[in-house]
């Protein structure tokens, strides 16, 4: 499971769990192809044999850098992948609220507005007690804000720009439909990450159904290569969400739980191996991470 791929890791404030360099990604594919057959998700879940060494590559969120930096590497190695996209965010020239916070924190620090940033977000996350604007503090803030209802959270972020006097970035951090279609013509399939990347267990039933059911319909009508799988935003799901995924016609769903999958694994709760630069930038680290997943499966 990947998120963002870049030519080099950003300087300054950023979420280290989101990034990997294109050189490291290239190394991953070379290593994985030595021991695994890299297959589309459909083949992965339909494989009848227990002894097959299969691997599926997935990306969450549909960042524009997936097109710019990951896509060329995937083409170079001629391997398939699935990118999970929130259909209403694609081509919206927007970004995600959590990335807005990272951008806002960086700008606040550069403009001497750190005190205002800390005061504003502390008022909306009372259990957040930062020592300043640093990487750990922003990771903690985002984690605490995730518990808020999505519609309230959107308003908090929007008002922050006005109250702090910070200009919102022009967007363009997420793929557009033309890029999606081009990737689809060359072996990349697209699954659902909801419509808006809302954390589903926090939504009422009707909104939850809208995110799960209608997102698949939008993808199917978009004229793109569709992988009929659902990726739970933030990895959060409940029994109602899982049942909706099954009833909506998806072949399965992917979680963020670390592990490998066996024929007995619930298709709607497939495990993945989250990967980012810090824990996988050498072949030894990559295989250690994979062995962690294998050990977790055997322990379970």
DSSP string of 31-94, one letter each residue: HHHHH-EE--HHHHHH---TT--EE--EEES-BHHIIIIIHHHHHHHT--EEEEE-TTTTTTT-
- Residue 44, pLDDT score: 86
Residues comprising the chain, all counted = 300
Q: What is residue 90's predicted lDDT score, i.e. its pLDDT? A: 92
Q: Can you give the pLDDT at residue 52?
A: 78
- Which DSSP helix (H) or strand (E) runs through 18? none
Query: Distance between CA 164 and CA 8 in Å, rounded?
Result: 30
pTM for the model: 0.94
SS3 300: coil
Partners of 173 in the beta sheet?
A: none
Contacts of 77 (CB under 8 A, 6+ apart): 26, 29, 30, 33
CB 181 within 8 A of CB 223: yes
pLDDT in tens, the chain (300 residues): 999 999 999 988 999 999 999 999 999 999 999 999 999 999 988 865 556 789 999 999 999 999 999 999 999 999 999 999 999 999 877 789 999 999 999 999 999 999 999 999 999 999 999 999 999 999 999 999 999 988 889 899 999 999 999 988 766 799 999 999 999 999 999 999 999 999 999 999 999 999 999 999 999 999 999 999 999 999 999 999 999 999 999 999 999 999 999 888 999 999 999 999 999 999 999 999 999 999 876 655
Cα(261)–Cα(263) distance, rounded to whole angstroms? 7
Residue 12 pLDDT: 87
Note whether 46 and 267 are within 8 A (CB): no
Element (H, E) at 257: strand 252-258
**pLDDT given for residue 190 in this prediction:** 98
**The pLDDT value given to residue 99:** 92
Please answer whether residues 166 and 107 qualify as being in contact, where contact means their C-beta atoms are separated by less than 8 angstroms: yes
Sorted by sequence, the CB contacts under 8 Å of residue 276 that are 6+ apart come out as 2, 3, 16, 17, 18, 19, 20
Domains of the chain with CATH codes: 4-93+172-299 (3.20.20.370), 97-164 (no CATH)
């Amino acid at each position: 499971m990947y998120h963002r791929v870049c030519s080099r890791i950003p300087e300054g404030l950023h979420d280290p769990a989101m990034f990997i360099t294109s050189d490291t990604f290239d190394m991953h594919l070379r290593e994985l192809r030595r021991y695994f057959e890299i297959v589309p998700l459909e083949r992965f879940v339909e494989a009848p044999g227990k002894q097959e060494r299969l691997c599926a590559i997935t990306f969450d969120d549909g960042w524009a850098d997936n097109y710019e930096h990951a896509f060329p590497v995937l083409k170079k190695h001629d391997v398939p992948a699935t990118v999970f996209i929130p259909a209403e965010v694609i081509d919206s020239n927007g970004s995600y609220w959590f990335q807005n916070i990272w951008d806002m924190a960086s700008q606040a620090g550069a403009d001497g507005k750190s005190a205002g940033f800390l005061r504003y977000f502390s008022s909306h996350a009372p259990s957040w007690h930062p020592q300043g604007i640093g990487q750990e503090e922003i990771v903690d803030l985002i984690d605490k804000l995730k518990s808020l209802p999505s519609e309230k959270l959107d308003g908090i972020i929007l008002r922050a720009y006005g109250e702090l006097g910070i200009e919102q970035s022009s967007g363009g951090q997420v793929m557009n439909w033309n890029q999606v279609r081009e990737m689809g013509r060359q072996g990349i399939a697209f699954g659902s990450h909801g419509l808006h990347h809302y954390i589903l267990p926090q939504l009422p039933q009707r909104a939850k159904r809208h995110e799960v059911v209608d997102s698949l319909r939008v993808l199917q009508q978009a004229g793109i290569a569709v992988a009929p799988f659902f990726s739970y935003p933030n990895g959060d799901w409940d029994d109602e969400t899982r049942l909706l995924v099954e009833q909506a016609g998806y072949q399965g769903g992917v979680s963020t739980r670390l592990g490998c999958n066996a024929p007995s694994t619930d298709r709607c709760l497939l495990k993945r191996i989250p990967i980012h630069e810090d824990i996988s930038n050498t072949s030894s680290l990559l295989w250690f991470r994979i062995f962690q997943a294998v050990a977790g499966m055997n322990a379970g």
